[in-house]
């Protein structure tokens, strides 16, 4: 039961001394604004109708987000850890039927871009491979102004309304009493929040999947998350979802690898991106769109404006309209990446917003937070943020002003400056908001059409391959095992029951919990089901559907969607794959040469590893070895070729390092090449498991092409059941 509000929270006694600046414990007090005004609803922003746009007059939302935006200086409050690169976007399909945006209007049209990838929860000094959402933000320097497509590597998000964003981030960040843990979601406050927010269920399945630990920025998808609008020259709108699909396919790390890399190479993703661009391996993505006519807004069993939902590709196929290539690294990370500003409200004619309540809040938040982070309102004048299009307006002065405006006039209309700059006329291409009728009661509420929180989580889980489902189970088990409060673990397992009973049962067994059948989810606004005062403003049923005619029969979700699985949706490729060759003086040079050529012909790369770095002998020839066996982990490679035996090492420690390297590669289901002299060593490293014709184990000398074919598979998951007995 909720505690009775303290007397001090109900009235203010006469002050006899200055008020204390330390905040008392909050248990038992009603929520208030910073001015002491009690808040009736802390879950929904103020809207013009439950599905209408958010209102600027919502002082509760603005105060809450403003406070959050200014919490950290100077790094980003979220997405602090990042890497970026420059390149270009090339249009490959004429989309002028749907949008007047010039960058999508003519095949062959190229637009410069900047892309920043990032993690969400960690600070700038955190590791790259933490389990986390990855930011995928693209700035198009178009002829018509800068357009920012600010998305993630997952198509949905944890919350439906921007009002909850500060709460989400406060929950996932290090706990405030001890600043622990860093860049991790395996702690009480995060899972307490998630277990009380049913709307987060879909996203938490994505976060527990291998999508949250990508092999490389170059091998992950990007999504716009929200539903946006294309608008053509006639003013006609079409709903649009954006997808970035990587040329190299979708690939992830296994959890043990991610943990090891965090300690051995915390800059793994940043280094991978930078080095591949320097080596000429420019990463590439296709840009695809899902187009939904305005007439089909209410066609589906989910709401297009709900950011916790995706549109399955089986219902609306993805149409490829262009490609993006990143071919230049920054010259200075701070100037060009850290100072880069992205904003979902940086739009160009032909692309517009929708009434998604999370997107509506982002429109305010991004500008607000950049003002603090970059010292004022003129962050757009920094070189990396400056548009290629001309800038003409009467905005003046302020911190960080770079331009030097001339003349007397800083207002409009004017005659002294001959009226310049002036409004773009009807014949001039300019930004015009999509004309949409908005009508509804002014309410702090949420549409009933946002109410299904489990169907898409079930679709995601059911669409995964068997190894991916196993990884999700292990992720939930690992994360929840770190939670100290039993009630939170129990509540989360009950949530899993609403998605998949077998999964919930397995997690419950691993955590020594009992699952109660038929458990009802508590209301997120009232988790302990305690009595609360009536509040007409949150009674959505009064207002919902007042101006919306939804069809009685809507298109249901498919039972499975292979596009949601990394394993089932990726084509084999060995391009840019990195293979370790373990060598010594008695290594058969001919086998090395043949396999190296086959890998490089397929676009892969080879790195020699030996007990010592520098110039040394290999099969009678001299070679330069860049990496030492004792300081180079297997987890940063996609495969290994073993060209040594147990007699190749004078130092027993070096033999131990070689055995560990091979064992980890084998355990993590990577391709392993066995040379004519290494069979005994590989058998010893794998505790005899390699003697059983394990998948992905290839003779190095006789079949170099077979190794490349196996390498292109990324992992050999059918080996997973075989290697469970191997130590880490």
Catalytic residues: 79, 152
Q: How far is CA 471 from the centre of its chain?
A: 18
User: d(Cα 380, Cα 382) in Å, to the nearest integer?
Assistant: 6
Q: How far is CA 479 from the centre of its chain?
A: 18
User: d(Cα 284, Cα 286) in Å, to the nearest integer?
Assistant: 7
User: d(Cα 49, Cα 547) in Å, to the nearest integer?
Assistant: 9
User: d(Cα 582, Cα 600) in Å, to the nearest integer?
Assistant: 17
User: d(Cα 694, Cα 692) in Å, to the nearest integer?
Assistant: 5
- The answer to whether the peptide bond before residue 74 is cis (omega within 30 degrees of 0) is yes
CB 122 within 8 A of CB 73: no
Give the containing element (helix H, strand E) for 166. Answer: helix 165-172
User: d(Cα 211, Cα 215) in Å, to the nearest integer?
Assistant: 9
User: d(Cα 529, Cα 521) in Å, to the nearest integer?
Assistant: 10
Looking up tokens 């699909």, which residue turns up? Answer: 245
User: d(Cα 175, Cα 152) in Å, to the nearest integer?
Assistant: 24
Please name the residues in contact with 146: beta carbons below 8 A apart, sequence gap of 6 or more: 139, 140, 346, 348, 385, 387, 389
CB 594 within 8 A of CB 706: no
Q: How far is CA 186 from the centre of its chain?
A: 17
Alpha helices, H only, 253-328: 255-264, 268-278
The radius of gyration of the chain from alpha carbons, rounded to an integer in Å, stands at 28
CA angle 469, 226, 70 (to 5 degrees): 100
Residue 232 buriedness (CB in 10 A; 0-12 / 13-18 / 19+): middle
Residue 14 buriedness (CB in 10 A; 0-12 / 13-18 / 19+): exposed
- Contacts of residues 534-541 at CB distance under 8 Å and 24 or more positions apart, as own/partner, are 535/40, 535/41, 537/40, 537/41, 537/443, 537/444, 537/445, 538/40, 538/41, 538/44, 538/444, 538/445, 539/445, 540/50, 540/443, 540/445, 540/446, 540/447, 540/448, 541/448
User: d(Cα 152, Cα 224) in Å, to the nearest integer?
Assistant: 7
Tokens of 589: 């040079």
Tokens of 417: 């400056």
User: d(Cα 294, Cα 450) in Å, to the nearest integer?
Assistant: 19
Residue 571 buriedness (CB in 10 A; 0-12 / 13-18 / 19+): exposed
Greatest Cα-to-Cα distance within the chain, rounded to the nearest angstrom: 92
Give the containing element (helix H, strand E) for 203. Answer: helix 201-207
């Amino acid at each position: 039961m909720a505690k009775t509000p303290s007397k001090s929270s109900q009235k203010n006694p006469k002050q006899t001394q200055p008020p204390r600046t330390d905040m008392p414990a909050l248990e038992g007090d009603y929520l208030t604004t910073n001015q002491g005004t009690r808040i009736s609803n802390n879950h929904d922003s103020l809207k013009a109708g439950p599905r209408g746009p958010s209102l600027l007059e919502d002082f509760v939302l603005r105060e809450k987000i403003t406070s959050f935006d200014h919490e950290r200086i100077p790094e980003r409050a979220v997405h602090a850890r990042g890497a970026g690169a420059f390149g270009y976007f090339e249009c490959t399909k004429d989309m002028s039927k749907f949008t007047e945006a010039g960058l999508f209007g003519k095949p062959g049209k190229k637009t410069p871009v900047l892309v920043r990838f990032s993690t969400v929860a960690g600070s700038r000094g955190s590791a790259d491979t933490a389990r986390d959402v990855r930011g995928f933000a693209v700035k198009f320097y178009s002829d018509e102004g800068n357009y920012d497509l600010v998305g993630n590597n997952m198509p949905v998000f944890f919350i439906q309304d921007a009002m909850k964003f500060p709460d989400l981030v406060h929950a996932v960040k290090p706990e405030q009493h001890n600043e622990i843990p860093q860049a991790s979601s395996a702690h009480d406050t995060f899972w307490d929040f998630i277990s009380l927010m049913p709307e987060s269920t879909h996203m938490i399945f994505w976060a527990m999947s291998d999508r949250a630990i990508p092999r490389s920025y170059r091998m992950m998808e990007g999504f716009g998350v929200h539903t946006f609008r294309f608008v053509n020259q006639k003013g006609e709108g079409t709903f649009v979802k954006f997808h970035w699909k990587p040329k190299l396919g979708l690939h992830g790390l296994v959890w043990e690898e991610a943990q090891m890399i965090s300690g051995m190479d915390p800059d793994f993703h940043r280094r991978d991106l930078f080095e591949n661009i320097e080596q000429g391996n420019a990463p590439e993505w296709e840009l695809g769109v899902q187009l939904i006519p305005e007439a089909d807004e209410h066609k589906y069993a989910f709401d297009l404006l709900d950011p916790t939902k995706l549109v399955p590709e089986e219902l609306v196929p993805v149409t490829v309209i262009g490609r993006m290539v990143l071919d230049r690294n920054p010259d200075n990370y701070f100037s060009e990446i850290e100072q880069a500003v992205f904003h979902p409200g940086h739009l160009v004619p032909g692309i517009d917003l929708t009434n998604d309540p999370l997107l509506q809040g982002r429109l305010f938040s991004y500008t607000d937070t950049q003002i603090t982070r970059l010292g004022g309102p003129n962050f757009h004048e920094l070189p990396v943020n400056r548009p290629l299009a001309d800038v003409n307006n009467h905005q003046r002065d302020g911190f960080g002003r770079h331009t030097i405006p001339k003349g007397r006039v800083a207002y409009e209309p004017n005659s002294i400056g001959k009226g310049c700059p002036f409004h773009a006329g009807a014949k001039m291409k300019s930004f015009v908001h999509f004309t949409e009728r908005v009508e509804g009661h002014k309410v702090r509420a949420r549409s009933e059409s946002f109410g299904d929180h489990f169907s898409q989580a079930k679709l995601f889980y059911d669409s995964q391959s068997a190894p991916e489902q196993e990884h999700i189970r292990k992720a939930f088990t690992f994360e929840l095992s770190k939670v100290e409060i039993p009630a939170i673990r129990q509540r989360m397992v009950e949530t899993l029951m609403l998605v998949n009973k077998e999964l919930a049962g397995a997690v419950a067994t691993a955590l020594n919990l009992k699952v109660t059948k038929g458990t009802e989810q508590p209301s997120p606004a009232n988790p302990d089901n305690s009595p609360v005062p009536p509040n007409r403003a949150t009674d959505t049923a009064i207002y919902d559907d007042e101006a919306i005619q939804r069809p009685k029969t809507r298109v249901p979700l498919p039972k499975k969607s292979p596009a949601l699985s990394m394993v089932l949706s990726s084509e084999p490729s060995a391009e840019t794959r990195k293979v370790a060759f373990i060598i010594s003086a008695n290594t058969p040079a001919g086998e090395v040469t043949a396999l190296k050529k086959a890998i490089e012909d397929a676009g892969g790369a080879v790195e020699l590893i030996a007990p010592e770095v520098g110039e040394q002998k290999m099969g009678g020839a001299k070679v330069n070895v860049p990496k030492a066996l004792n300081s180079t982990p297997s987890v940063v490679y996609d495969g290994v070729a073993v060209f040594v035996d147990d007699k190749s090492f004078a130092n027993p420690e070096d033999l131990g390092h070689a055995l560990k390297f091979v064992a980890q590669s084998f355990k993590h289901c990577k391709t392993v090449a066995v040379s004519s002299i290494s069979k005994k060593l590989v058998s010893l490293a794998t505790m005899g498991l390699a003697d059983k014709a394990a998948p992905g184990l290839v003779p190095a000398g006789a079949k170099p092409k077979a190794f490349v074919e196996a390498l292109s598979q990324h992992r050999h998951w059918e080996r997973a059941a075989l290697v469970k007995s191997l130590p880490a």
